[in-house]
Amino acid sequence: MRTLSLPIVTLAVTLTATLLAGPAQADPGALLDHELRRLHSSEVVNLQERLGGSPLLLVNTASRCGFTGQFEGLEALHQRYGDRGLKVAGFSSNDFNQEIDEEGAAEVCFVNFGVTFDMFAPISVSGDEAHPLFAELAQQSEAPRWNFTKYLVDESGRVVAHYPSSVRPESPAMREAIEALLNGE
C-alpha cells in the first residue's frame, strides 16, 4: 500500500474543506471602508467613521425619478428612528439617466424635500462600474434595478433586508423590519 506524503495530504484536506465550505462569504467590515464626498460639498468623509457600528438604511437616489418623492419618507424615517440609532444615507447616481447636475440634486434634496440625513456625491451603483459599496450590497443581496432601491443593514455591515423602488419608506414592511433591527430581532 502506498502512503501519501504529508504535503499532499494537507493539500487534499484543505481542498476538501474549501469545497465543503462553499463560496467565500463577503467581509461585512469592508462595506463601509470607503471615503466619499458629501453631496454638493468639498467635504470628504470616511463612511466607516460616519456610519459604522449603526443600523443603516442605504438608498441610491436620483432627482428626476418618479420615486423622488420618497425623499420625504426617507427623511421621516431619519427623524423617527435617528434617536434609536438608525442612520439613513443617500447616494446620488445617474446610472438610470435620471439625475441632474450635482447642484440641482442638492437643491432637490435639501431645499425641496428638507433632507437632513447624509447625502453623498454621485457614484455608480450598478454594473461593472459600481462603487465598491454598492458592489458589496449587490453581492449580499442584489444590485439596484432602479433608483430608490433601499438596503437595511445591521451594525456589522450585513444586509438584512432589500427593498425595490416600489416599496415606499413609510410602508409597513419597511417600518416593521426597521423596528425588528433596532430591537435586535
Q: Which residues are catalytic?
A: 65
Q: How far are the Cα atoms of 8, 25, 68, 121, 160 from residue 16, in angstroms, in the given order?
A: 12, 17, 50, 45, 30
Give me the DSSP letters along 112-142.
IS---SEEE-----SSTT--HHHHHHHHHS-
State the cell numbers at 28: 461585512
Strand order in the sheet with 56-61: 118-120, 87-92, 56-61, 150-153, 159-163
Q: Could you give the count of Cα atoms lying within 13 Å of 54 in the half-sphere of its Cβ? A: 19
Q: CA 166, 53, 147 angle in degrees (round to 5)? A: 20
CA distance 134 to 141: 10
CA distance 29 to 179: 23
